[in-house]
A and B are shown apart, each in its own frame.
Chain A
Amino acid sequence: MPAAANGVAIRVRDLVVGFGGARILDQLSLDVFRGEVLGFVGGSGQGKSVLMRTIIGLVPKREGTIEVSGVDLGRASAEERQATERRWGILFQQGALFSSLTVRQNVQFPMREYLEISDRLLEEIAVAKLEMVGLKADVVDKFPSELSGGMIKRVALARALALDPEIVFLDEPTSGLDPIGAADFDNLIRTLQQTLGLTVFMVTHDLDSLYTICDRIAALADGKVIAAGPMATMLASEHPWLKAYFHGQRGRLAGPAGPARAMGAAGAA
């Protein structure tokens, strides 16, 4: 996909984020192009989630700029910020569904707040969103505690898509799912991304996801993006961490047969 031609959805420049004396992200720069699926990888504790949380405003930044859809979030007015927040949806690692609300209420929650629509329409949209993520109508009155891990993620995805966002942030969407469920979820993300024209920023550890649905991959180490590009770039990289990550034992086993797989095998050999 010629993603770069569509313009930049998220532009991060010279971002510094730290807690106390530690600098987690150090002068990090990254572009996410409109209409692409970007997989963001990095070792545990390197700050993958921190970057995501900084972009969506949960962690304060020390320096640098973050632009989402052309809006500089550091300088945006409250209204501009809120308008931007309405254009993104977030899937948290554990789903983060509101445990006191039913599935239906969870999906309707953002719509009820921002859209002035009738209850009937609200109901229809909620059911449509749930069907979109592959859930049947019989789950609508269940509480999150009654759902399996995979269903929670699907409901959370439906909620993230409730306001028809342009950008979707996914924090380890396939973690905690069995391989079949994970593959299904990958397909779901890919299908939705293509039909809805979403830009997807995906923090992940899952090599299968990286191989099958990511247009580009960005790798984080030492607080910086050490490489960004399609899978081939990753596999060709000489950076020791990337070599270990993509050519390690699990790296070789993962991934479909094809040029990428062949290259991986060749690189490891």
Chain B
Amino acid sequence: MVEVGQDLVDFARMLGELITVVVRVASRPRTFRLTSTVNQLERVGWRAVPIVLLITFLIGSILAQQGIFHFRKFGADIYVIDMVGVLVLREVGVIIVAVMVAGRSGSAYTAELGSMRMREEVDALRTMGFDPTEVLILPRIVALLIAVPILTFLGSMSAIYGGALVAWGYGGINPDVFLSRLKEAISLDTFEVGMIKAPFMALVIGIVACVEGFKVEGSAESLGLHTTASVVKAIFLVIVFDGLFAMFFASIGK
């Protein structure tokens, strides 16, 4: 219990520090580390595209297959399109991407920052008059904030594509029918509900990863421990946030 409280405090502290740095950098835009941000963006965004496309494609296919298999008993095959469309755009796309990013990039962030701490690189930065939050953390989190929404969009499209293929091959639903039915089943709201969550997921993953990275002490064991903690906590928080969003959207009627 105490530990959870401490985690909350650490999270809030990092968020506060980040906001301070954002305000400071905004007033002096030249201090923003563009090169580093682009470099991170390549690693967490560009290079994640193939695996994200593959996994979401598979998830979309499985959803469609299961939907058709069970709906067929009621002669309601066609509703699989509604299910895949709404589920992928609202929930599954963003969650799968967030979980992937937490496992792929969150762990990398924690391990990198942790090993930099172990080698006193962070101390070296500080003694040269640099703020580690500005130099190390801000570019990483900005990169996530850009990458996760893009990956979510790509992932959702890939999942729907997978679903459409399975619906066609396994369920005998013609792509034309799929598309026109999809148009009726979903609205822009459905899409927006999913997309608006993406930057929040990015923030949660990034902050948890950086907090854990800066907690690493001298040993290799500690590095492993915090990397694990980073992924577990990030995924847990992603799910919790998704639940909170679901409640929020339900109460505003979207």
Measuring CB to CB, which residues of chain A are less than 8 angstroms from any residue of chain B?
A: 53, 56-58, 81-82, 85-86, 88, 90, 92-99, 109-110, 113-114
Contact = CB atoms under 8 A, between A and B. Distances in A.
B62 to A, nearest CB: 39
B128 A93 contact: no
A93 B127 contact: no
Interface in B132-183: none
A113 B130 contact: yes
B123 interface: yes
Interface residues of B, number: 13
Nearest to B123: A58
Nearest to A93: B120
Contacts of B123: 53, 58, 92, 96
Contacts of B126: 57-58
30 contacts: A56-B127, A57-B126, A57-B127, A58-B123, A58-B127, A81-B129, A85-B127, A85-B129, A88-B127, A90-B124, A90-B127, A92-B123, A92-B124, A94-B120, A95-B119, A96-B119, A96-B120, A96-B121, A97-B121, A97-B124, A98-B116, A98-B121, A99-B116, A99-B119, A99-B121, A110-B128, A113-B128, A113-B129, A113-B130, A114-B129
SS class, residues of chain B in contact with chain A: helix
Nearest to A88: B127
SS class, residues of chain A in contact with chain B: mixed
Given A94-B119, A96-B119, A86 B129 contact: yes
Nearest to B124: A96
Nearest to A53: B123
A98 B130 CA distance: 13
Contacts of A82: 129
Contacts of A97: 119, 121, 124
A91 B119 CA distance: 12
Contacts of A88: 127
A106 to B, nearest CB: 10
Interface in B195-210: none
Given A96-B124, A98-B125, 17 more contacts: A53-B123, A57-B127, A58-B123, A85-B129, A90-B124, A94-B119, A94-B120, A95-B119, A96-B119, A96-B120, A97-B121, A98-B116, A99-B116, A99-B119, A99-B121, A110-B128, A113-B130
Interface string B97-136: 0000000000000000001100111011111111000000
Nearest to B116: A99
A19 to B, nearest CB: 13
A85 B128 contact: yes
Contacts of B129: 81-82, 85-86, 113-114
A92 B126 CA distance: 12
Contacts of A98: 116, 121, 124-125
Contacts of A114: 129
A57 B116 CA distance: 18
